[in-house]
Amino acid sequence: MTAFHGKPPGGGAGEMSRRTERLRPAIALRPAQVRQARHLRRLGAEPEQIATALGVATEEIEKALVQMRSRRPETTRGTLNVTLAAHQLFLSERIGDEPLWKTVDRVIDELLRLRGEKAPPGPTPPPRRRTGSQVPADQLSLLPNT
């Protein structure tokens, strides 16, 4: 079995798409003012108060604030940042039209169960840190033979 090597994400991975940037309204504030407005909002200030503090129009503050990212208190999903080859692997493991998140959960569950069956009885030794990038072939059992 060959080692699994995917292509790493590009330098712009995770950035906003140019199309999304073009669709957003222009904000007549300097980047430092936008950061300051968002900081004040996180501290609990109202848009009118922020506009007064920065000496700008309330409409511009509202445009800056509406584009703020906010944390969800109870996230139910996460983004798995993997290579395209790893993504293809999980797609190949899907059963029918199973959602990809369910496939990932099922494959990870199977991996953990199989590792538990292989584990020797008694205390588990602490994991050793690998120094090379090569992963032993016996740990790649979920990959198709290529």
> Which position has the token pair 């968002």?
38
For residue 140, pLDDT beyond 60: no
Which of 71, 16, 72, 62 lies closest to 41, judged by CA? 62
- One-character DSSP codes across the chain: -----PPPPPTTTTSPPHHHHHHSPP--S-HHHHHHHHHHHHTT--HHHHHHHHTS-HHHHHHHHHT-----SS---------HHHHHHHHHT--TT--HHHHHHHHHHHHHHHHHHHSPSSPPPPPPPP-SS---GGG-TTSPP-
Tell me, what amino acid is at 120? Answer: P
Residue with tokens 């950035």: 15
Q: Give the confidence band of 79 by pLDDT, cuts at 50, 70, 90.
A: confident
**Burial of residue 27 (number of CB atoms within 10 Å: 0-12, 13-18, 19+):** buried
Q: What is the pLDDT of residues 11-56, one digit of tens each?
A: 777 787 888 888 888 889 999 999 999 999 999 999 999 999 999 9
Give the pTM: 0.42
Q: Render pLDDT for 67-77 as a digit per residue (tens, 0 to 9).
A: 887 776 776 66
Q: Which residue matches tokens 């494959």?
A: 107
Instruction: From residue 97, give the alpha-carbon distance in Å to each of 50, 90, 101, 107, 142.
Output: 49, 13, 12, 15, 20
**How is the chain split into domains, by residue range?**
25-66, 82-120
- pLDDT for residue 21: 82
